[in-house]
């Protein structure tokens, strides 16, 4: 599980940085590296980033159920 969390967090950072570039400069780095938004590799990366976001929802909801978020506020 720990390895999967690290991998998904890395993918989310990559996705976040890519969206930052899209927002600031209208430049999609993933598409530029892998041959356009519709290339198979780009689509796989977009899918992996999206699945990573879904995966990271589990620890988020778990932290709420364990009152970890409440404990961090105090």
Q: How confident is the model at residue 60 (pLDDT cuts 50, 70, 90)?
A: confident
Q: Where are the domains of the chain?
A: 2-73
Q: Report the alpha-carbon distance of residue 3 to residue 5 in Å, rounded.
A: 5
How many Cβ atoms are within 10 Å of 49's Cβ, its own excluded?
A: 19
pLDDT at 38: 93
Q: Find the mean pLDDT for residues 19-25.
A: 97
Greater pLDDT, 67 or 20: 20
Sign of the four-CA dihedral 37, 40, 46, 47: positive
Least confident span in 2-6, 27-31, 38-42, 61-65: 61-65
């Amino acid at each position: 599980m720990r390895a999967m969390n690290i991998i998904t967090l890395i993918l989310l950072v990559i996705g976040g940085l890519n969206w930052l570039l899209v927002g600031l400069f209208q430049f999609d780095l993933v598409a530029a590296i892998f041959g356009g938004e519709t290339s198979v590799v780009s689509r796989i990366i977009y899918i992996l980033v999206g699945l990573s976001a879904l995966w990271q929802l589990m620890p988020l909801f778990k932290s709420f159920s364990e009152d970890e978020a409440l404990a961090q506020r105090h």
